[in-house]
Amino acid sequence: MNQQPAHIGQIPPEQVYASLQAGPEGLTPSEVAERLLHIGPNSFEVVDRWKLARTLGRQFTNFFALLLIISAAICFVAHRINPEEGMGMLGWALIVVALLNALFSFIQEYRAEKAMEALKKFIPHLVEVCRDGRISRIPAAEIVPGDVVILSEGDKIAADLRIVAADGLMIDNAPLTGESAAIRLTPQMQEKSLEECENIGFAGCTVIKGTGRGVVFATGLRTRFGRIAQLSQTIRRTSSPLEREISRMIRILTTIACTMGFSFFLYGMLSGKPLWMNLVFMMGIIVANVPEGLLPTLTLALVMGSLRMAKKNVLVTSLNAVEALGAVHVICTDKTGTLTMNQLTITRLAEPLTGAAMTPEQEHALAALALAASDVRQAGDQLLGDPLDVAVANKWIGLHPGQQLAEAQQVMRFFAFDVDKRRSGGIVRMGEQHLFVVKGAFEAVRPMVSAIGSCEDNEKNAPLADQLAASEIVMQQLASQGLRVIAVAYRPLAQAELAEVVATANSPTDEVAADALEHDLILAGFLGIEDPVRPEVASAVAKCRTAGIKVIIITGDHPATTMAVAAKAGIVEPGCTAHLTGEALKTLTVEALVEQLQQGVCVFARTSPEQKMKIVTALKHMDLVVAMTGDGVNDAPALRAADIGIAMGTMGTDVARESAQIILLDDNFASIVDGVEEGRTVFANMKKFTSYVLVSNGPEILPYLLYIVLPVPLALNIIHILAIDLGTDLVPSMGLGQEPSDPEVMRKPPRNPSESLLTRELMVRSYLFLGLIEGAWSLLLFFLVLHNGGWRYGNPLPPSSPLLHSATGVTLAAILLMQIGNLIGRRFEQNSGLDLGLVRNRLILAGILIQLVLSWAILYWPPLARALGTGPVAPEIYGLAWLGIALIFAVDYLRKMLVKRGRKG
C-alpha cells in the first residue's frame, strides 16, 4: 500500500496542479474570485488591538507631559495648604492642557502613520502571474492558492510556492532561516520535511538568480512567513537619529525649566515668602519654559514634508528620512535609468572588425543570436524583462515585421545574466545546428573568443591578437559616442555537449556545465545601444554643485560610455578622462580610494555591486553623508551601508526597495535633488518654529523673575502662559512648518549631520535677544498701566484688583502682537520675511488673524476677559502694544543685516 505524501513537496511536479485544483494555464477569473472570497487577501498584517492605546499612552510619558502632570500634582498640594488661592483650579487646568497636548500629539502621530500607509500604495508589490493563459502583473495581495507565479531575479516571493519549473533558480532563505545562503530550487519531488525541501519557495524570500514558475499553496498568515509575523508583532523598533535629537532637545528644555524653577523656589523659601507663593512661582517658571505645542508641530512638519516629497516622485519609507536626505554631501548614482531615460534602443549593429554597417542578412543573424541570449516574455502587447533584453527583442521585431516573437527561434536553455561575469547566454536551435550564444560586455566575452567574423564567414587571415585589437578599437569608438556596447558571440555545439547540458539542467553541476561551454567563441558583432540623458539632469547636477553636493557615477558600463554621459550631464567637464574602473578598485585600499576621491574622481565604471560598498566606506571615512541609488538584488548591501539608500520604484527589484529608506517613483535623478531640497526645507522649518516658540518663553519667564526678586505684582499667571503656548502659538508654528523652500536653501553647503535643532545661537537669539525685547516691552506697558492707575513701587495689589487685570491684559496682548513680528521674521534667516509668500501661507495668515483678534478680545470682550482675569485699557495704551510688532521686526531685521554684513566681511 503506497504511503500518502505528507506535504506538497513530496508530490511529483506533474501532480502539483491537480492537487491544488489548478492548471498550467492558471486560474480563471471566476476561480480567483471564489478563492479570494473564501480565503481572503494575501496579507501579512497582524491586527494589534492595543496599538492605538499604546500610542496614546506614550504621549503622557515624554518629559513635557510628565512636567505638566507633576506641576498639576504640586498645585493640588498647594491647594490643600491654602485653598483660598485657587491652586486646585490651576491644577485641573494643567491636567486639561496635558490631556489636550497628548491628544493633539496622538492625532498627528496617527495621521503620520496613515500618511505613510497611503504613500506605500504608490508602489504596490506587484507579482507576475499566469491566469487564464495570459501573463499579467497583479498586486501581491490578490494572489490566491492555485495561482501560477513567474519568478525572476530580484523578485520577492509573495506566497508559499511549489516550484514546477526552474532554470538556474536560486533563492535566499535568510528571512526565514536567518542564514543568507543561496539555495538552488528544483521542480523534482523530495522526501524531506517541508522546510528542508528544495522545491518550495517561501513567502518573504528573494530570488537572487535564474527564473522559474511556482504554484501557490499558502497565502497570508497561513504561510511560514505569516506565522512569524504573528509572533513578531511585539518587537519594538529602535529610535532614529532625529527622534534622539528631539529627545535631547526635550531633556535640555526640561532641565532648564526644572533648574530655574527649583532654584527660585529655594530663593523664595530663603527670603521668607509663603510656601504657596513659592509653589506658584516654581510652577510658573516650569510651565513658561515648556513649549507644550512643539512636539506635535515637529511631527506635523515631517508628515507634510513627506507628502510634498511624494508629489515630487520621492517616496519616503520612514518620516525621519525626510529630514535626513537634506544633510547629504554626496549622491552616488547609477547611470542607466537614473541619469538616462532607460529607453534603450539599438541604433547600431556593427561589424566587429571595421565597425561598418552590416548587410540586412548579417543584421538578421546578429539580432537572432542576441535574442537567444535574452529572456523576454510577452504580456499582451507589452514585453517584460530586462530593459536590454527588451531592446534586443524590439530590434528583432523591427527587422521581422509581421512575425511573432515566439517564432524567433527555439531556445532550449537560457543562462541568466551574471553580475560577476557581466554576460548572459543561451542555447538555441538554428536550422540543423545547436548554437551556444553569449551576450555581454566585450571585456567579459573577449577571453573566450577564438575567431572573429560574421555569422556566415569566420575565415580570417590576420592573427587573432590583431583582430581582437581592431575589435577593441571599434568598441571604443562606439562607446565614445555615448553608446552602450554589447558584444555577441557564439559557437556550434556538438551533440555530446548538448546532451550533457540538458542532463545537468537544474542540478548542482548546472553552472559548471555552462562554464565549460564558454570557449572557442566566434565574435559575431556589436550592438550599439542608445539611452538618452534625461533633459532635466544637467540642471539638477548644476543645482547640486551650487548646493555643495558632489555627484558620483557608479556603473557597470564601459568607461568611455560613462564619461560621455557624465559630460552630457555636467558631472565632468567635456574632455575629462579621470575615472576608475572595477579592475583598478580591486587593487586600491580604502585609504588609497579616499585619496582618489579627494583628488576629484567622480566616475566609476565597470564596477561590481561589492565595489559600491567599498566606495561608500571610503566616503564615510571622509565624514561625508552618502546617498546611494540602486535597483538590483546585489545593490541591497550598499543601500543599507549608505546613510540614505535610494531605490528605483519603476525598475528596482523588491529587494532593493526594501533595503532603501527612499524610493524614486520615476527613477529620475532630478527627483533626488528635489528630495534633497525638500529635506533641507523641512529641517530649516523645524528650526524656524522652534525658535519662534522659544522666543515667547522670554516674556513668560521674566514676570516671575521680577515677582520673586522685587516687590511688584505678577504680570502673568500660568493660565496666561498656557493660552500663549497652546492657544495662539500653535497655528503660527504649524504655518512655519509648511513654509516653501527658501531660494537660498540650495545655495548653501550641506549642514553638519551633528547640527542640533537647539543650537547655542538659536537659544541665545530666542531667550536673550528677541525674548528679552518682548519681555521688556510688554512689562513696560504693564508698569505704565499700573503707574497711570495710581500704583507705586512696593505697594501690594490684590489679585482681584481691576487695575491689575488691565495691566495683565495689556501685557498678554503685547506678547501676542509682538509674536506677529517674530513670526514674520522667522520665515527667513537673512531676508525680512515680507514677501508674497506670506500671503500664500494660509496657516500663517490664520495665525496672525487669531493673534490680532485675541489681543483685542482679552481686553475688550467681557466673557474672555473674565475667564482670563484681564481688563480693558485706554485705546492709546493698546496702540502702544501694536507698536511692538514693528519694534521686534525692525530690531530683528537690523540684527540680520549686521550678521549678513559680518559674514560677507
Residues designated as active site: 334
Residue appearing with cell numbers 547655542:
760
SS3 labels along 231-243? HCCCCCCCCCHHH
Q: In residues, how long is the chain?
A: 905
Residue type, 120: K
C-alpha 577/C-alpha 583 separation (Å) is 16
C-alpha cell at 541: 547636477
Contact criterion met (CB below 8 Å) for 325 and 547: no
- How far is 298 from 687, CA to CA, in rounded Å? 10
Residues linked to residue 768 through DSSP beta bridges, in sequence order: none
Question: For residues 482 and 564, is the Cβ–Cβ distance under 8 A?
Answer: yes
Half-sphere exposure of 442 (CA within 13 A, CB side): 26
Count CA within 13 A, CB hemisphere, residue 397: 15
Instruction: Identify the CA nearest to 601 among candidates 626, 583, 619, 624.
Output: 619
Distance CA 623, CA 330 (A): 11
DSSP H or E segment with residue 297: helix 294-311
3-class secondary-structure state, position 463:
coil
Q: Which residue has the cell 499667571?
A: 717
How far is the C-alpha of 374 from the C-alpha of 864, rounded, in Å? 77
Strand 626-630, strand 644-648: pairing: parallel
Cβ-Cβ contacts under 8 Å for 315 (sequence gap 6 or more): 119, 120, 122, 123, 309, 649, 662, 663, 664, 665
DSSP string, 877-904: HHHHHHHHHHHHHHHHHHHHHHHHHHHH
- Separation CA 735–CA 393 (nearest Å): 54
Distances (CA, A) of 628 to 535, 553, 641: 22, 10, 9
Q: Please calculate the CA angle 349-351-352 and round it to the nearest 5 degrees.
A: 115
326 and 685 in contact (C-beta within 8 Å)?
no
For residue 178, the tally of other CB atoms under 10 A from its CB is: 7
Can you tell me which residue has the cell 523588491? 654
Which H or E run contains 451?
strand 449-452
Question: In Å, how far from its chain's centre is CA 128?
Answer: 26
Q: How far apart are the first and last CA of the chain?
A: 97
How many C-beta atoms surround the C-beta of residue 832 within 10 A? 16
The residues, ordered by sequence, that sit 6+ positions from 5 with a Cβ below 8 Å of its Cβ are 11
